[in-house]
Copies of this chain bind each other. A is one copy, B any other.
Amino acid sequence: MNETTPYAVLGKIDDPTALRALPHAELRRLAQEMRRNLIETMARNGGHFAASLGTVELTIALHRTFDTPRDRLIWDIGHQTHPHKMLTGRRTGLEMQRRVHGLAPFLSRAESEYDAFGAGHAGTSLSAAAGMAAAARLKQEHRRVVAVIGDGGLTTGMAFEALNHIGASAEDLLVIVNDNGMSISENVGALRGRANLGDFFNALGFTYDGPIDGHDLDTLLDTLERLRDTEGPRVLHVVTVKGKGYAPAELDPIAYHGVTRFDPVTGTFATPGGTAVPTYSRIFGDWLCAAAARDPRIVAITPAMREGSGLVEFAKRFPDRFFDVGIAEQHAVTLAAGMACEGLRPVVAIYSTFLQRGYDQLIHDLAIQNLPVLFAIDRAGLVGPDGATHHGAFDLAFLRCVPNLVVMTPSDSHECQRMLDLALECDGPAAVRYPRGSASLALAAAEPLSAGNSRIIRESRTRRGPRVALLAFGELLHAALQIAEILDATVVDMRYVKPLDDHRIAQLAGHHELLITIEDGVLAGGAGSAVGESLSAQGLCVPLLELGLPDRFVQHGSRDELLAQCGLDPAGLLRSVQKYLRMLEKESEPIHQAPSAAPKIGEK
């Protein structure tokens, strides 16, 4: 495993055409080199790892058997696609994957013609493949369509919806089930365990082949060649080992699902420098264990995100009260609703981006019935390296329009715990929404924390120039505090997006010449927009600058880089404020007076 060993075979493969020209005898060597490259690259740079170790042979066999990119190859989610990127001209790019301007974390149509469909969330491949197969039929283009979905991806409702449609419409389509028994953690659900998968697919109108060994290249090639030229909806069940070929990852595929830098020989992860500050996920997990120990009504539900959501300890201590439902966000929400009807206090731990999957259930089953379910929304705002498909950019906008829902944005570790407590006391649904990564340490609050109220952290003392108030939602409070020193601004930790502290907003409007909202979420319909609505509803007219995520999809990079890219670091915030102040100054000159002039309502 020497980094300088050349890749004698892999080095020749710039695209699948070269792969298809390779002598059969060299394929095994190619697989070895691909695995070695993957281990070396991930050890240096980190990234999603173990799933890709399991798909080396499958990827070779698929690109060798099918005429990609003319034939459409659609991968579900994308955790397993490093081998695919390697064979489609992006091997060296993997060094920079997930970084700014580097390769995409998952699949991207913009990145390669071999990425037939972008991915990131689970279960989308079958629907996309069905659409492509139908299009090929209607356009009489005789291309083949292959979708690769994991046994984890098969637990999503949308995968079932697609199967049910494909089976009935008899679309010409090959589904590969990449069965490694794992979601990020162990896969769950009745379909797990292989024995009944054939019956399941037959019942849905598919012909079923397998299971076959997904690391046996010859069997893969033979089987795919045979299935390539049959017709109708058909499934090939391929059994793979997550982490295959790298012993530490085979032994602990959960730890090696996504990795930071590690020693390729020992498998030991590099220890992060500095003191360990707890992440929000950890704060939530610890809080939940403590709360559950006090209150037997508490149960926890996760859609296949035990590790990421900080639930490992809870699952160990309270196995009966822990529900991993698979990648099934819709079911997770309505399961919670059913439990809440019976007096339990369900806590749904979910990533912001995946809550988009349970949106209707949140409205229809929870909010309309006003059932007390707590949402612990992790990975809110910019998530960093997982990129556009995973940012939790929209939650404040899509949540705050829902009646009966309480939405809170903690700004530090203590606030997070306090808000989780407050959420448990709600009579209806409540959400506490926090970002990926470490929580700031608690500020000494100038005001006591109470339900529904904001708190003033700093008061402007200026007597010269415009008085400015910064209204921060969540962690960006700390960036606001930094620029407040320069602007001598009032700083308010707004805490609640819903209900909003209208009274405070009116007070601030009365004593400041400019209000500025700051949030780690899209501006359109977000928390700043709510402040604008509050001002309007109260008949108050004061300049309002809303700062947050832009109206475009932000790509990948570190969270700090992306915050800076969006102007949400202290320097960016300051620039925006100063630019706005200059604009207001200009507009208050006589020639532009009309728009910003005082309302003339009273002057009949």
Query: What is the interface of chain A, defined by CB distance below 8 A to chain B?
Result: 109, 116-118, 120-121, 124, 127-132, 134-136, 138-139, 141, 155-169, 188-192, 196-197, 199-200, 202-205, 299, 320-321, 323, 325-326, 328, 330-331, 333-344, 346, 353-354, 356-357, 359-361, 363-365, 367-369, 388-389, 394, 397-398, 400-404, 464-466, 498, 506, 509-511, 513-514, 522-526, 528-530, 532-533, 536-546, 551-553, 580-581, 583-585, 587-589, 594-602, 604
Q: A127 with B330: in contact, given A368-B389, A369-B109 (CB under 8 Å)? A: yes
Most buried by B among A197, A202, A551: A551
Asked whether A513 lies within 8 Å of B130 as measured between CB atoms, the reply is no
**A399 → B minimal CB distance (Å):** 9
Residues of B within 8 A of A158 (CB): 157, 328, 330-331, 334, 361
Which of B131, B522, B587 meets A338, CB within 8 Å? B131
- Bound-state CA distance A404–B524 (Å) is 13
User: Using Cβ atoms and an 8 Å threshold, which residues of chain B touch A135?
Assistant: 338-339, 341-344
Contact status A299-B138, CB under 8 Å: yes
Copies of this chain, whole number: 2
Residue from the list B188, B328, B533, B596 in contact with A524, Cβ < 8 A:
B533
Q: Which residues of B contact A121 (CB under 8 A)?
A: 360, 364
Tell me whether A525 and B601 are in contact (CB under 8 A): no
The answer to whether B196 touches A203, judged by C-beta atoms less than 8 angstroms apart, is: yes
Can you spell out 29 A-B residue pairs with CB atoms less than 8 angstroms apart? Answer: A109-B369, A127-B330, A131-B335, A131-B339, A131-B346, A135-B338, A135-B339, A135-B342, A135-B343, A155-B161, A157-B158, A157-B161, A160-B161, A165-B189, A191-B203, A356-B359, A359-B398, A394-B402, A404-B552, A506-B595, A509-B594, A524-B530, A525-B529, A532-B533, A541-B541, A542-B596, A543-B601, A588-B598, A596-B599
Within the complex, the shortest CB–CB distance from A17 to chain B, in Å, comes to: 22
Q: Distance (Å) between the CB of A179 and the closest chain B CB?
A: 15
Extra contacts, 9 of them, besides A162-B331, A525-B529 (Cβ < 8 A), are A117-B341, A131-B342, A135-B338, A157-B330, A161-B330, A199-B203, A368-B388, A523-B533, A536-B546
